[in-house]
Amino acid sequence: MTIELQTRPSLPAPAGTPPRAGTGLPPGFRFYPTDEELIVHYLRRRAAAAPCPAAVIAEVDIYKLDPWELPSRAVFEGDNDEWYFFSPRDRKYPNGVRPNRAAGSGYWKATGTDKPITAGGVPGGEVVGVKKALVFYQGRPPKGLKTNWIMHEYRLADAHAAAAAHTYRPPTRFKASSSMRVRNVVHACLSPSFCIFIFSTPLIPCFNALLDYESFLRFQMIEAFELARNLLFSSYELRVCGCQ
Q: 194 and 222: one domain?
A: no
194 and 131 within one domain: yes
- Please check whether residue 15 lies inside any domain of the structure: no
Instruction: Point out the least confidently predicted range of 125-129, 151-155, 163-167, 182-186.
Output: 182-186
> Are 191 and 224 in a shared domain?
no
* 94 and 172 part of one domain: yes
CA distances from 103 to 65, 166, 197, 224 (A): 6, 31, 14, 36
Start-to-end CA distance of the chain, whole Å, equals 73
List all residues 6 or more positions away from 6 whose beta carbon is below 8 Å from its beta carbon.
30
- Is 8 part of a structural domain of the chain? no
The domain that holds 45 is classified in CATH as 2.170.150.80
Answer yes or no: do 145 and 223 share one domain.
no
Is residue 186's pLDDT more than 50? no
Judge whether 17 lies within some domain. Answer: no
Q: Give the type of residue at 145.
A: L
What are the two backbone dihedrals, phi and then psi, of residue 77, each rounded to the nearest 5 degrees?
-85, 130
Whether residues 39 and 66 fall in one domain: yes
Residue 123 domain boundaries: 35-207
Looking at the fold, whether 200 and 98 belong to one and the same domain comes out as: yes
Q: Is residue 133 part of a domain?
A: yes
85 domain residue, yes or no: yes
* Band of pLDDT at residue 181, cut at 50, 70 and 90: very low
Same domain (yes/no): 183, 128? yes
Residues 55 and 108 in one domain: yes
User: In this structure, are 121 and 222 located in the same domain?
Assistant: no
Residue 9 backbone zone (phi > 0: left; psi -120 to 50: alpha; other: beta): beta
d(CA 130, CA 118) in angstroms, rounded, equals: 9
Q: In this structure, are 224 and 202 located in the same domain? A: no
Q: For the whole model, what pTM was predicted?
A: 0.62
CA dist 133 and 108 (Å) reads 10
Q: Are 129 and 155 in contact (CB under 8 A)?
A: yes
Residue 76 confidence (pLDDT) above 90:
no
Express each pLDDT in 25-49 by its tens digit.
788 888 889 999 999 999 999 999 9
Q: For residue range 84-93, what is the model confidence (pLDDT) as tens digits? A: 999 987 777 6
Which residues make Cβ contacts (< 8 Å) with residue 19, sequence separation at least 6? 25, 29, 56, 75, 76
Residue 26, domain member (yes or no): no
Q: What are phi and psi of 229, to 5 degrees?
A: -65, -40
When divided into structural domains, the chain yields a total of 2
- Report CA 239 to chain centroid distance, whole Å: 54
Choose among 184, 230, 178: nearest CA to 63.
Answer: 178
In a domain, 41, yes or no: yes
Tell me, yes or no, whether 75 and 195 share the same domain. Answer: yes
Q: Stretch 194-216: mean pLDDT, rounded? A: 53
Q: Tell me whether residue 59 is in a domain.
A: yes
Overall average pLDDT of the 123-141 stretch: 93
